[in-house]
Amino acid sequence: MCLISFCTHIPSRRAALHPGSTDKGWLNKSAMQIAETGKPVKWSTPLGLPCVQPYTKNKRYNVMTPVQGVSLSCPAPEMPVNKRKQSTAFPPNFIHSQDSTHMLMTAIECYHAGIPFAAVHDSFWTLPCHVDEMDSIIREQFILMYSFDVLKQLKESFEAYNPEVKFGDLPDSDNSILTVSETLNTSSVENCPLSSQN
C-alpha cells in the first residue's frame, strides 16, 4: 500500500528511486563511503529504530563427516564488511525500512482507534466495516511521515553514526513536494508506474 500510495498520490523522491536515478546513486555512494571505513551501513527510521546491514565477507568452514569433507562458505560477524553488498543492498533496504515504519505508524493509530489491524509486508487488512476509517489512517500516517525531507533525515542519521565521513550533497529534486490534499482525497491507485515493481 505504501509503495502504491507513494507513487500515485504524491510526486515524491520515492518514485525516483530507479536504477540510474540521482537519488539511488546518492544512496549507493553514501553506503559505499561508510563501507570503506570498515563499518556496516547503519541508519535510523523515522521512529528512531536503528537499522544495521549485516553483510560481511564469507568465512570458509571445513566440516568432516564420516563420508566426506564438506567446505561451507558463510557470512560471519567477525569478518570484514562486504563493501559491494553494503552499497548495492542499501537502497532497497532503506525503502523497506520506510515501508515498515509506515506500517507501524498505521498499526499504532488503528489500535488507538479500536480498529482491528493485520498486515503482511505492504498489504494492510481490517474488517469491512472499518475499511474507510483505516484508509484515512493510512493516508494520514503517510502524510505525517513524508511531510519532511526523508533523504535529509537519512543524511543526518548517517552523519551521526559516521562523523568521520564527508557525505556528498543531496541531489536536487523538484519531486519532493508533498501534495497533502491529493493524498487525502485520491481514491484510485491505478496507473501507478511502480505498483508492479514492489
Active-site residue numbers? 122
pLDDT at 148: 81
pLDDT at 7: 36
- Residues 6 or more apart whose CB falls under 8 angstroms from that of 122 comprise 1, 2, 3, 4, 99, 103, 198
Q: What is the DSSP letter of 56?
A: B
pLDDT at 177: 45
Instruction: Please check whether residue 77 is in contact with residue 56, taking contact to mean a CB–CB distance below 8 angstroms.
Output: yes
Residue type, 71: S
pLDDT at 158: 95
Contacts 24+ apart (CB under 8 A), 117-125: 121/198, 122/1, 122/2, 122/3, 122/4, 122/198, 123/1, 124/1
Q: Report pTM.
A: 0.74
- pLDDT averaged per 10 residues in sequence order, the chain, 198 residues: 38 42 87 96 92 91 89 84 94 93 95 95 90 92 86 93 94 56 53 34
